[in-house]
Amino acid sequence: MIISPAFAQGASAGGDAGLMSFLPIILMFVLLYFLMIRPQMKRAKEQKAMVEALQKGDEVVTAGGIVGRITKLSDQYVTVEVAPNTEVVMQRSAVQVPLPKGTLKSLQ
């Protein structure tokens, strides 16, 4: 008779302890979301908007470090003039950074 009330009390307290043991894991996922996942999604969104806003005549830096001026655009590809009469065709997503107008003249 003495043992059965002791088991009954342990079972009711175990439910609250189980939730409290998951609290640190839940907090780690929330922290991971705000410190890593959310900023990465924001950067990807900004990169996509920049690639969609490219226009003919923009001066850009590609993922490979090539600096040039856009001469042709299509849905998936962009043609970049890297030197007089020298053009390179690459994917639009390869464009990393748009440069201010007139940057190429100061480099040559």
- Using the 8-state DSSP alphabet, how is residue 93 labeled? G
The domain defined by 55-107 carries CATH number 3.30.450.20: no
- Model confidence over 84-107: pLDDT tens digits? 899 999 999 999 999 998 888 865
User: Domain residues of the chain, as ranges?
Assistant: 1-53, 55-107
> Phi and psi at residue 105, in whole multiples of 5°?
-65, -35
Residue 16, amino acid? D
Quick: pLDDT tens for 8-52.
555 554 556 777 888 999 999 999 999 999 999 999 999 999 999
Alpha-carbon distances of 9 from 18, 22, 61, rounded to whole Å: 15, 21, 68
Taking the C-alpha atoms of residue 24 and residue 55, their distance in angstroms, rounded to an integer, is 49
Total-model pTM:
0.67
> Which one-letter amino acid corresponds to residue 55?
Q
